[in-house]
Every structure is written in C-alpha cells, then in structure tokens.
Structure 1
Amino acid sequence: MLIRYGKPEMIFVTFVYAPVKNKEGKVKKVAVWVLENTRQVTERKKEAMMRIQEELREVRRHADQQRRVYEAIASGTPDLMYVWDLQYRFIYANSALLNMWGKTWDTAIGKGLRENGYEEWHAAMHEREIDHVVATKESVRGEVAFPHAVLGNRIYDYILIPVFNEAGEVEAVAGTTRDVTDRKEMEQTLAQSSEELQAINEELLSANEEQAASNEELIATNEELAIVNQQLRDAWHKIEEREIALRLAVDAANFGTWFIHSVTREFITDARLKELFGYYPEEELSIEQALAQITDEYRDFVSTKLENALYNNGDYDVTYPVIGLHDNRLRWLRAIGNLKADPSGAFSAFTGVVMDITEQKIDEIRKNDFIGMASHELKTPLTSMKGYIQMLIKVNRQNNDLNTDMLEKANSQVGKMTAMINSFLNVSRLESGKIYMEIQEFDLAELIEEAEEETNATISSHIVIFNPVVEPMVVNADRDKIGQVIHNLISNALKYSTAGSTIEVSCFKDKGMVNVSVKDRGMGIKSDDLPNIFDRYYRVEGSQMFSISGFGIGLYLCKEIIERHKGEISAISDFGVGSTFTFSLPLLST
C-alpha cells in the first residue's frame, strides 16, 4: 500500500534477488530487481497475496487480544467496532456501526441484538459465538451478509475476541467487522487479467529457475485449492437444499422443534412447540416449564430420559400427555431427539421434534376400552357355559360315550375362546398400564415340571419332550404370567407343527440368566417375517396359514411380559424345517 499522487493505492510488485560475486567467486553484493505488475496480477497471485495479508492481519489481531478493549477502539475508523457484555448487550458501538443502524448512542447502547434490528438467526448466531468465546477464551472469525441502512446488502468479515479483567476472566467480548464487498468485487475484476499475468510469469520462469520451481508449486497448490473450493461449494449447496427440504417437511407435518445447549441448557423452541405446551408464541419457555406441563405420572420418566439423552447420548423417543398452560387442554405428544457435538468441541446440541398424536392416542384408548369391555362381557357367559358342559360330561360319561365325546370337544372350544378373551384382556391392560404383576421368588424348574404334567395329560397329537432340569432355577417374577408364556410357546409349537412331530422343551443356565426354549419341527418362519412376529396383531401371510386360527397377540403378550421382568425373548427359524423360541430371566441363585 503506497501513497501515490496524494492517494493511497494498492500495488503488486515482483522482487528478484541475485548475488553479485567478485573474481574469487565470493558474494559481495545483492542486486534487486523490482517489477510492478499491478494490472497483470492473476487470480492465483492475488489470492496468494491476500492470504499473506490475511495471516498478517490475524497475527496483529492476536497481539491486540490481550489489550483492554477500549484502548483498541477508534471511533473514526470505517470498520464496525463494538463491545458486548456477557448478557449480549452492546456497551460500545463506534460511529460507523451507529450510522449503519441509523441509530444514536442513546438509542442503541444497552440494547440487545434483536432490539438493534438483528434478525433472529443473526442474533442467535452471535449469541452462540459469544458463549463460545466466553467458554474457551478464544477468538471467533466469520463472514456474514446483511443490509446496510444506506448502502443496501453488503458482505462483512468479522472477528470476536475476549476482553479479560485483571483476574484473567472474560468480562466482555469485543468485535470488529469490516465491509469486504469492494474487495470481493476487486477479486472478480482481477480474475479477468489471468492471460496477461500468465505471460509475465513465463518471462519470470525463464529468468530464474528457482522462481520457476516456486511458481509451479504455487500453481499446483492453487489448483488443489480450486478443486477443494469447488467441492466445498457443491457440498454447501447440497446442505442448503437438504435444510430447505427438512424445513418444508417439518412445516408440512406441523411438528414443533427445539434446540438445547448441553453446557448452558439454553432452550430454543419454535412457536408450534410452545403452542403444544399451551404457551403463547411470544412467551419464554424453559425446560423446567415444559416439564411442569407434563402430567405427574409421566414427568419423572420424561425428565430421566431427557437427562440421559443430553449427557449420555441415550435414545430419546418418548410419548407423554401434557396439560396446556393457558388452554388447559390435554394433548398426547411424541418427542424424538438427537445429540450432536458442535465442531468446536465446547458443547453438544440436542435437537428434535415434537408431534401431536392426541387423536391416535385417544383412538387407541377407545379401542382398548372396547376390547376390555367386550372381553369382560363375553367372559361371563363363557364361564357359565364351561361349567355346565363340565357337569354334563360327568353325567354323560357313564351313559353315552358319543355325547361325552361331543361335550369334551365343546369344552375344548370354550377353553380356546376363554384363552383368546384373556389374551385380549391382557393386551388392553398392558397398553393402558394396568396389568398387575405379582412378583415373588419361585423355582422355575418346578413350573416347567407342572407344564410337563399338564401337557402329558392333555396333548396326544404330538411328541412333547421335556429335557430334565437337574438343579433349582430360582427367579423373582410373576409365576402365573411366566407360566402363561410357557403355555403360549408350547401352544404355538403345536399349532404350527404337523401331528406326530416332536417338540422339545429345555430349561438351562447361561451367564447369570435362566433360559427356557421351545423347539419345534414345523413349517418354520420366513426371514422377512421373523423380525415382526413379536409385533401386536402381526400375522404371517401364506396359503398354509388359512387353516390356522389366531389374532397375532400371543407372541406380543409373551414379549411384553418377559420385557417387564427385565428379560429377553427371541426366535430363530429355518423355513420349512422348524423354529426355536427362547426367553431368559435374571437368575437369583446359581
């Protein structure tokens, strides 16, 4: 930068240094040639110069970070200079910044970003950067575009630095913003002179081999940078497109969204999320206030899941009811969140969506109520019918074998209907959270023995083998419910196996767990169906299934009962060969 003809002017020159030797070959002097090539600077040379200047400016800024901010501020500079306190309020702004805002000192100082006309995204961005500077005591560099009150839309380069007190703590954050719009335009203009600069570079290459090698290396580096920059631009465009698509999808689905800062616990939400919790759009909503709207029986559960997701990166997919603050309206909400570390490493961002599932939940509750009511209504006459049939069996057994056989078949069918009704009742109770577990210590080996006695007395169509259990298997569980699981697995094996085939029941220990398995040699399950067989109401499709009755709730009930005992249930199958169902429970004694 030179003062030429009374005006500052940026020029570009090339220096060539050459040794001047005496007769003995020793260097006595250095000759310097200076060639001005301002108009012929190519984009490559210009970018290299700008990069050097940028590094010099960065060094100067680092040196100034340790000075008191008010010693570094000059109100007459065209750069925008300002200082924030730790509550994001402006405590200094130079005249250039005030002019850009179209404000005075009295109307701007002491105000926050939004009060001084910053858009929400712009204000939130700077607030996050201020938090980062305070947390790390390191500067932040960036570039942003926003409108000037007089000049219209401009591009600005800025740096934020910490201001330390005598104790070495950050007491404020100072910033300098420079209008680089003209520089950007100059870069475009300089790019047009690449052919002229190429000719000059060829002359310089022929004059000095060492300079030629340096230029070749610089060309290669710049080509790599150009490729990287193009890749970055392409990636940025893809990110922008995905963000727009995501925002459109969220808006179309009418989801509420949130952001939680893992360090400050700052809670940023949109108007839709506030509406779901019964708040007005302009009202502040904290994490604690949102949790307060959740009903008592779900509040601790949701709070625990939230803390685990926020600090342990646990899963967060929860459904819960809330009572709106102002509208006092009951809503069922489903919240799904994801934790992602910030590139700075200083904090993580927990973001997610909340959706209103009230209508689906109410339909589900009504359905469960209907199933419960219908099942209770059907169970009463079936119980009476079963009693009458059993009495008739006793009376007719001595007089008429044919009638006895028919009554026994009728009694079996009534038993099947009763079992189905009990299954529906259990489903209804599970989904409404009203199923009762009577937890007690008992020997699972004895329960297996009882199942063996019952099977041998009632099953003649298949060969059911119970492998011996040679030692006690003490568990802490609901004895009747576990017995129901064993009965369901054996019934399924009978149902899906051909008559006369073998079914094998085993009970064994493994890694502090007791396992019960039921293996059949029946039709098996296709690999596509296997992941879904424990889902509620799921039924395998196929021509061989038409003659087999069922509603797809038996395995669902087994899974729910075992998981409520902190156990696991699984299935393996070879289609056309057979299946093995296994459940495990924690073992109390080994």
Structure 2
Amino acid sequence: MELTSNDELFYTIFNSAANGLIALQPVYNKEKIEDFLLLFCNSRIQEYFEVEECKNQFFTDIFKLYDADILIEKFTETLVNRKNSTFEISFEIGEQLYWFRFTAEEKNGLLIVTVENITEYKTKRNNLIAALTAIEKQERFYNSITNTTPDLVYVFDLAYNFTYANKALLDMWGKSAQDAIGKGLRDNGYEEWHAVMHEREIDDVVANKKMIRGTVSFPHAELGRRVYDYIFAPVFNKQGEVEAIAGTTRDITEIKLAEEQQFLARKRIEESESRLQSMIHQTPSATLVLMGADLVIEQINRQMLALIGRGEEIIGMRLIDVLPELNGQYVWTQVQNVYNKGIPFDQAEVLVQHNRTGEMRDYYYNLAYRPLVQDGVITGMIQVAEDVTEQVTARNKMEESEKRFRALVNASSDFVYRMNADWTVMRSLETLDSYASEGEPVSNWINSYIHPDDRKKALKLISEAIDNKSIFQLEHRVLNANGTIGWNFSRVVPILDDNNTIIEWFGAASDITSQKEVQQIINESAENFRQLADLVPQIIWTSRPDGFIDYYNKRWYEYTNLKENEYGDSSWISVLHPDDVELVKDNWYESIQSGNFYQLEFRLKDSVTGEYRWFLSKAVPIRDASGAITKWFGTCTDIHEQKTATEKLEVLINERTRELQRSNEDLQQFAHVASHDLKEPVRKIKTFISRLEDNLEGKLDDSAKKFIDRIHVASDRMFNMIEGVLAYSKINADQQKPTVVDLNEVLKNIETDLEVSLQKTGGEIYYDNLPVLEGAQVLLYQLFYNLINNSIKFAKDDVPVKVKLSSKIIKQQDNDFAVITVEDNGIGFNENQAERIFETFTRLNSKDSYEGTGLGLSLCKKIVERHAGTITASGSPYNGAVFTIVLPLKQEENDI
C-alpha cells in the first residue's frame, strides 16, 4: 500500500512530525484575501498555540491572541507571488516568549505552512554568543597569564643564533638546550624560506629598533604542522643599541581551526535551508524516515544526509549498514527501543561517534525519535536531529580554559600575584611568599620585598610600564623573611579593558639565586684561565667555532701595542705582513670549515721596531662530548731567528726545537692545570644543586626532580670528562722504563678487576698463550683494560658478552712483532668509522645510551704508539668489533 494513499498513516506521519503543519485555503472579499480557512493542522500546532480544534476554523479566530494580521500579510504575499517564504516571529504564550519559524509554500491555490518552534535554538544561540563573549574575556585573561610564562620564549643574538629557548620551544623542536642553544635557525630545523624570513625580520628590528609581529606555519616535533603568532622585540644595551632580539610565540592553530569550522557549519546550515521543498524537506531540521524491522531508510532530507556524510544513494539501505559504527552506542539502543517498544525519545546533546568526514570523531546532537503506527502496529519511525557540536565544544573549551588557568597558577613554581592599576596594592594568587597570603592585600610591598639598592630602578621601570602600558621585567635582589638576600626575576603584564585602559596587572617572580651563584663561579673560573694564560711566554688566543677571535693573552698586546678592546678579525689582519694575509685567511678558514688542526708560519709586525717577525701559529679545536667544536685554542711562537739566520740554521733549529718542546710542555702543563681548575666549579655546581635539593625537600614536583637529576648526571659526566683529559695528558707526561711483561698475567689482573661487570652481564674472557714482551706494564694493563671494558660497555641487550684474545708472532724488517687480536660479539660499528673512533672525544653512540668520555680508544692508540706499535679496528653494525694490535717484542728506546 502506498504511503500517501493511507489516510490513517498520512495523519499519523503528520502528527508525528517534529514541527507544526497547516493547510490553508484563502478567503476572498471582492478579490482581496481577508482571511484563511484551516483545512487541517497537526497536533504540534495545537500544542504550540494551546488550540483544541482548528480544522475548518478561520485563521484569525484561532490566532486572535497573537499577531494574526502580520501572518495573513505574509501568507497573502506568498500566495500572490507563488514564491516560498520563510520568516520568524515571536509570540507571548502563557506569559513566556516563544519564537517560531514559518515556512509557507503555495500548492494548487492552497497554502502549506510548516511551523517550527525555534525558541530553544534562539535561546542556545543567545547563550552561545554570551559564552563566546565570556570565552574571549577569559582568553584575554589567560593570555595575560601565559605572557608571564609564555608558551615559546627565545632570544637571538645579532648573528641569528639562539642564545635562549624555553622548555616549550625545545619540546617543539624535540631538542635539548645543549643541542639547540648557540645554533642558528637552519640548524634547529627551520626550512630555508622560514630562516630567510626571520633573518630579514631580525635585521629590520635591529635597523628600526621597533617591535614586529607576524604569523607563520611550521612543524612541531610532536603535534605536526601548527600556526603561530609571533613577536620580535629589540633588547637594548646601556648605549641604546640593539644587542639582542627577544621573541615570543603563541600557538593559534586551534583558533584558526575553530574559525574554519564555524564557517563550514554556517555554510551547511545555509545550504540545507535553501533545499527545503517537500513535506520532509520543508523542515530545517535533519529528518529521517525509517521503515520495517530492518529500519530501512525510506525518506531522508538533505540536512540528514549532511549529518551522515553520505549522498542519496543510501535511500533503501539499512541504517546500521550506512552507519555501522552506531552498533553498541547509546543512541542505537534508543533507536531500537523506539521501534521495538514504541517509546518516544527526546534528549539534548547526545554523544554520537561516527565517521562523517572519513575519520571517527565525537559529535553532539539534539535528538527526537517517534514511532510510526499503522493499524496499531509500529511500522517505522521518524528521526529528527540537530547538530549542537559547536555549542557543546564552545562550552567545553570555556570550561577547559578555566581549568588550564587554575592548573597553571597551582602548578607554577613561581610566586604569582595580581597588582591594582597603579601598583599600590598586591594580592598573591598562592602562598609562596611570607609577605602575602591567598587573596590578602599587601601595601608598601616595595619596601618590604625589594632590596633598597634596587628600589629606585624598580620604581622607574614601574612608572615607564604604567605610562606605556608595557610589560615590566627586572632582575633584582629581594629581602627574604629569614633575613637573607636572594635574587628574583620579576615579569608583570598589564590587563587592558576594551577601551585600552589598564584595569590591573598580573605578574610572576622566579627565584634565580642559584643561577646567580653559578654565574659567579663561572666568572671566577674564567678569571683563573686568564691569569694562567698571561704566564705563558707565547701569544695565546681562543676563538669561537666560527673563527671569531674572542681572547688574547697579555703577550699579544705587548707585541702589537693594540688596545684590549681591539680584537677579532680586524686586529690580526692589520698586523699581518701584506704578502701573508690571503695565505693565513685561506688556511685558517679551511681549518674552521673542516675542523682540522691548524698550523702555519707567517709574519707579524713588531710595534716597537716596526719590523715584521716570523711566527709559528698552531690551533686545535676543542670539542664537546658529541664531537661538536665549542672553541679553538691557539698559540703563536716567535721563530724569526730560525727563518733569517741561515749560517746558524742548525743551532737555531735545535734551540727552537727545544723551545717548541718547552712550549708544548707549557701548553700540556697549562691544559693539566686548567683541567684541575675546572674541577672546582663542577664541585661547586654539585654542592649548590645538593643544597637546593635540601632546601626544597618535599616542595619539588616530578618535573623539577627530573631537571635536578639531569643536572647531577651532567655534572658527573663533566667530572668524568675532566678526569679523562687528565689521564690523556698524563700519558705524554710520564716516562716509563720498559720491563718484561707477561700479557697472560696482565689479563688475569684485568679479569679480577672486571669481575663484578662480567658477573652482572654474564660475560666471559677467552685467552691462551699470549706473548711475553718488553713494555710499560702499567700502560699495557691500561691498553687491554680499556679494550675489554669497551666490549662490556657496548654489548648487545640481553646477550652475554664474549671477548676472545688471540696472538701470533711475525717478522718485519728483521724484528719480531706480536700481533694480538681482541674480538667481541657486541654492537659493532660501521666500517667507515674505523679510523675516527681513535680520535679524541669521538663518540659513535649517544651519551645517554652509553657512558664514557670518548677518550678510551684515543688513550689506547697513544699507548700503542709509545710502544712503537700500531692499532687498527674493523667491524660491522651488530656483528661485533675486532681490534688488531701490533707490538714489538723488544723495545729499542730506554724510555717509553
């Protein structure tokens, strides 16, 4: 039986509709429409307007309590123009205001009117506007908070290198501060266009001394591509020149996405309202008619198709086949209850998970389900849905914003506070300071809190901040409650109303006492280095990794008569002989690019005689644990006599050789003394960190504990590195007398010393019939101890280490040599790294995964070379390593 041929079913459908339906016949008076006759209306109309019977009634009689004249005017216009019309009117029903949307369509001289109660929609829309306004206000407050501890904070030097990056920025790069600070944009992963853009903006800030602002998109290490709003501001020195560029960046991706989603949502609503053409399609709500026990889609309007994310091809399909993800969800249970039990369902903000756009997401709907009854039997159901995801999401975001704000204040280790507009009264937001409790106002706080010597500067900056409505920030001393003096970094931002008037200030103060004490230790260590360098007779200099010379000792200024502020490229080029300038520049910058040892002879002008004298210049790169160059250390030795006095060439060569030897010994002694001096600041760092832990016991969160643990690990690693440097320099300093050494006895002693490590890893050492030869027993013990300990350190996970030593005797140039191989089953290495592993401070693996200083194998090489032997290595990844040592059985020299 056709759906439209069954009157009972027809009226059931109309009465089950979520909206009111009316059929009107015009009533004419002298060819002018003066009223309408109601041919029928459904139960929704009776419910909306509190009417008991409307069939065959005049419209003005039924709606006399409401604005019937306006409605008749609208209906007449629709009928005359034969053009569909939609309009919204509010009525006061039972002392309450209701909003209705009327949709009128002319059909064969009659008027078919759909009436939708949009009161809830209007209310929600007004609430949404109010919520969005509240969100904007809350966001301004939240942004003010984050300005005290911004999401991304960084500082550039004038060479575009990062000199500071906070944790949020390092997390975004996926790097540590050690890997990122001191490097440029490209080294930290910026694409070429991005780096060029920021370098141009940095130049603009330096040139114009003004802040700039921009928006850019680039990838986050964990979150993917994001959109950021950034500000570059100049940092001035005392002379008013720009000495650095400070930057702040905020992630605005979510705001951009929300704007796009709002635009798409509005567009879908406009498109769906334009396609209302028939009984089901007239309603602006998403409507769906399901028939039969299988709940097959009989009718569906375009709005519902949009919500499902499919086209009209789904008509005739089972709903569960179209949306299989509904199975097991709460909403599917309600659908079955409506059909199986005839229980109507009305509920707002129902969570439904489905893949409307090709991926599973959470959506929220206002849902209304009604059964369709024919001859007392449920034959199907009508579903009406309204997407309220945007409203729910907006409310959730507002609630989440409030939670983040409270979490930020509660989690901050800083002292967080609020200040009134003129800074006369302070209110703390947490009880971290003895002068202010939660919410309690504190006046005269400057005299109580800031050290007297810093008050004048603080008051001046406060006045400037109020006048300019700018951020206040200052490092200053504080008076602690226990009578001690500490250091704080304070940063305060203004909160402005819509008229750009300051209503209050929000600030945070960080305790930087420990950083100040550590800086003092570093300054003292640098002064010790300068004093030691001034004692050396040679010219001593250091440079940055890029070759810019940043230090000369006193001998340089005595020879050149230059001022101490005249250093760098401009000074040493000016005292070079013109014929040597290009040669020196080419060789020096080639060493900078390759990282190789630098050595060259050139002439420098004597400031007393005006003559040019010959100098031998040498420089070596200083590398960190990862192999990166952190500084160059160089000397210039006067060799003029060797180059000019040919008749005494032999004597001068011998004399200069001894002088160079003494110079090298001085340098070696200098390195030895400098390494000893480096131990002291490391000890002090460890001492102050331990004191900091004691002082903050019970107050540290997990994140702070982790940072302190990392400082301990880094300090221990630095201490071990210094010990390694001392051991490396000591090998050249100590002379050993050769004795007869049984390598089998040496291996027995090594087994005893490594007993704990071998038992822990289940390792074993295999050797037999190793040779007896001449050498320094202490050094040979160190050689094989380092090699075997290396095998234990670089063993495979969960695989017991196996180390095998074998030997044979060969003859070379009438001398007998022992060839000893040390083979293990560890992680191995790439064959192209075989030469590099013997270089000083070289590491092939992460320092976080494997302990060590990078000096072990370089020590082995020096020991073998002192015994007039050779050492080579071979291997492949995860297939173990083989070290081959060739040593003479007898030593020709009396000293090793």
| Normalised-by-shorter TM-score class | 0.3 to 0.5
| Larger relative contact order (Cα-Cα within 8 Å, sequence gap ≥ 6) | 1
TM-score (norm 1): 0.34
Q: Which has the higher strand share?
A: 2
Bigger-Rg structure (1/2): 2
